[in-house]
Chain A
Amino acid sequence: MGLQGWRNVLALKTSKNNNRAAWQRAFPVPLSHSQITRLYSRFHSLDKGENGALSREDFQRIPELAINPLGDRIINAFFPEGEDQANFRGFMRTLAHFRPVEDNEKNKDLTSGEPLNSRTNKLLFAFRLYDLDRDDKISRDELLQVLRMMVGVNISDEQLGSIADRTIQEADTNGDMCISFSEFIKVLEKVDVEQKMSIRFLH
């Protein structure tokens, strides 16, 4: 890691003893100090070009991600609309969705609005994995494409088509043959989203 990189890490560490509010303003995500340092270290080790931002290739260099059938969709979630570079803030924001929801966190008010790792925001993250064109609806076509990514060549088109049709039928309540976000939430209301979409950041 370059000298500037370590200066940043050092600044993060010392700011713990300084103005906590100022620090939280700079990083408005519900992550602890040591978690942020750890993620910065990881961000830097992925950033092979050492230019302070990650490209899609940097992500694809992780073998476990490269063999994940939805790897490309997940990588896409880190890049804002139309951009090719993910900076550290964006990296942290996206990862913050996966922080476990602890009970004592629910009432802490860091910034106005819901914390990134709320149940709704976790569901929104998953919804966006399906919603390829970002029009806030999952069409039959989009569902088919994502299903195709997940199963590869092992299931025939007809079978996949009927799976998609059935899924939309069950979820669609307003008859527009698409799944909107509220319909998506309804379908998954019994699923333990908090547990399934959370990861431990530090072992």
Chain B
Amino acid sequence: QEGLDIIILICMLLGISFTVWFTLLLVFIIVPAIFGVSFGIRRLYMKSLIKLFEWATLRMERGAKEKNHHYHQHHIFTIIITLRGGAEPEFDMSDIFYFCRRGVESIVDDEVTKRFTAEELESWNLLTRSNYNFHHISTRLTALWGVGVLIRYGFLLPLRVTLAFTGVGLLVVLTSIVGLFPNGRMKNYLSDKVHLMCYRICVRALTAIITYHDSENKPKNGGICVANHTSPIDVIILASDGCYAMVGQVHGGLMGVIQRAMVKACPHIWFERSEVKDRHLVAKRLSDHVADKSKLPILIFPEGTCINNTSVMMFKKGSFEIGCTVYPVAIKYDPRFGDAFWNSSKFGMVNYLLHMMSSWAIVCSVWYLPPMSRMEGEDAVQFANRVKAAIARKGGLADLLWDGGLKRGKVKEVFKEEQQKLYSKVLVGSSEDGSSS
């Protein structure tokens, strides 16, 4: 008898707490997301976290570390730094030292491979995954870290997962409903509202605290929006502030369901696997889309892969050949609160999302840069580099000429050949007479 009473009591308590929980969720998170207003809870949370981290860092007594933020231009790598001053060109057995030294320097540390692993932090944010030197400092700190784990995995994670499911679910359902409307202004209006609402819920699902700068430069119809790429979350961050047409490959499974639903409400550009290889087809579909002024601006990430947000790598020229206005956007994440970088060779998507949702928060800044167009006499590659430099400068990232494709593939032979050509000039001089002594 008593056992039954207790069970009933527990069920009632669970029911009540669940209702309270869901009401709070609705009032404080989902309703503001629908209307695009904010109570400022997340910013308050962010400020308290900062104070906490500062305290934790002081306890850590970290020595001086190398600065990780470089604002330099990295020129094409040249091995021959100094020519033998003024002497006539000839071979010297000591020439090998130049090659040797540069080679060993790159073995000890190089500019490229470190862009593909997560950035090292100067302070500790109570996440062991970002602390490479973690070992026991004090009981207080470890206790704090333990409490942090409880909060993040016990409270924040379930909250966020619920929100994520709500956001995605609503997206699929509502876009399908909007798809039933006849094409026209009403449909576009509804589609915009629906997309924005669902993305805002997803933003809250990640506890993303985003600061948008220069919103007067927001992308307009008939243009292409170009941004640096750090993680799949970039899409959510940009799309919660404006409406874009997405570009991507058709996927199966859950992604496929979402894609099919989204395209019912407004025209996104999804490519079949086979079509992706055909560059002309891709270019044609993109051009057709931008030519139609009633369609939304296209969102593209020209780096082609996720970079760890300390630099901007080579932009692929495809999107710059189309000949329309380009709206560059710079996204910079604050790594103190959670590392947004997706190292796709190390973690799968699910693992990555789990990491994201169990971090403290995702804090980032978005800068909308003024629109750019291709100038007279500029080819696509030069235009792409100009845009890239502007994005790197605004976001405070290093502007690298290396290809993001180096994450997976080998460097092209042609770069080695350039080095050989340079050295040959040292040997035989740049004049064409070519006679050696």
* Docked-complex contact A69 and B96, CB < 8 angstroms: no
Interface size on B, residues (CB 8 A): 49
* Docked-complex contact B103 and A74, CB < 8 angstroms: yes
* Docked-complex contact B100 and A64, CB < 8 angstroms: no
- CB interface residues, A 146-203, toward B, < 8 Å: 146-147, 150-155, 159, 162-163, 166-167, 171, 184, 187-188, 191, 193, 196-199, 201-203
Residues of B within 8 A of A203 (CB): 66, 109
* Docked-complex contact B424 and A68, CB < 8 angstroms: no
* Docked-complex contact B410 and A199, CB < 8 angstroms: no
* Docked-complex contact B110 and A65, CB < 8 angstroms: yes
* Docked-complex contact B100 and A42, CB < 8 angstroms: no
Q: Mark A130-152, 1 if CB is under 8 A from B, else 0.
A: 10000000000000001100111
Residues of A within 8 A of B104 (CB): 74, 95, 98, 199
Which among A46, A67, A95, A203 has the highest number of chain B CB atoms within 10 Å? Answer: A67
Q: How far is the CA of A197 from the CA of B436 in the complex (A)?
A: 28
Residues of B within 8 A of A63 (CB): 110, 112-113, 402, 406, 411, 415
Tell me if A116 is interfacial: C-beta within 8 Å of chain B. no
Given A42-B108, A62-B106, 5 more A-B residue pairs with CB atoms under 8 Å apart are A39-B108, A41-B132, A63-B110, A69-B99, A155-B427
Tell me if A71 is interfacial: C-beta within 8 Å of chain B. yes
Tell me if B284 is interfacial: C-beta within 8 Å of chain A. no
Whether A62 touches B110, Cβ cut-off 8 Å, given contacts A67-B416, A67-B419, is: yes
Task: For chain A, give the interface size range.
Answer: 35 or more
Least distance between B105 CB and chain A CB atoms (Å):
5
Residues of B within 8 A of A85 (CB): none
Closest to B134 in A: A6
* Docked-complex contact B135 and A64, CB < 8 angstroms: no
Q: Mark A49-83, 1 if CB is under 8 A from B, else 0.
A: 00000000001111111111111001000000000
* Docked-complex contact A68 and B419, CB < 8 angstroms: yes
Query: Could you say which of B113, B406, B415, B420 contacts A151, with CB atoms under 8 Å apart?
Result: B420
* Docked-complex contact B100 and A155, CB < 8 angstroms: no
Tell me if A29 is interfacial: C-beta within 8 Å of chain B. no
Q: List 9 A-B contacts (CB under 8 A).
A: A9-B133, A63-B110, A69-B99, A69-B420, A95-B107, A150-B420, A155-B428, A167-B91, A197-B97
Which among A6, A70, A196 has the highest number of chain B CB atoms within 10 Å? Answer: A70
Least distance between B108 CB and chain A CB atoms (Å):
6
Which among B95, B132, B420, B421 has the highest number of chain A CB atoms within 10 Å? Answer: B420
Q: How far is the CA of A59 from the CA of B99 in the complex (A)?
A: 16
Tell me if B423 is interfacial: C-beta within 8 Å of chain A. yes
Whether A188 touches B93, Cβ cut-off 8 Å, given contacts A151-B420, A152-B417, is: yes
Query: Could you say which of B101, B111, B135, B424 contacts A196, with CB atoms under 8 Å apart?
Result: B101
Residues of B within 8 A of A61 (CB): 113, 410
Tell me if B123 is interfacial: C-beta within 8 Å of chain A. no
Q: How far is the CA of A162 from the CA of B411 in the complex (A)?
A: 33
Which among A63, A70, A71, A203 has the highest number of chain B CB atoms within 10 Å? Answer: A63
Whether A69 touches B97, Cβ cut-off 8 Å, given contacts A59-B107, A155-B427, is: no
Residues of A within 8 A of B417 (CB): 152-153
Tell me if B355 is interfacial: C-beta within 8 Å of chain A. no
* Docked-complex contact B411 and A154, CB < 8 angstroms: no
Residues of A within 8 A of B108 (CB): 39, 42, 95, 199, 201
Q: How far is the CA of A68 from the CA of B436 in the complex (A)?
A: 25
Which among A45, A68, A70 has the highest number of chain B CB atoms within 10 Å? Answer: A68
Q: How far is the CA of A100 from the CA of B428 in the complex (A)?
A: 32
* Docked-complex contact A150 and B113, CB < 8 angstroms: no
Tell me if A10 is interfacial: C-beta within 8 Å of chain B. yes
Least distance between B116 CB and chain A CB atoms (Å):
10
Tell me if B22 is interfacial: C-beta within 8 Å of chain A. no
Tell me if A1 is interfacial: C-beta within 8 Å of chain B. yes
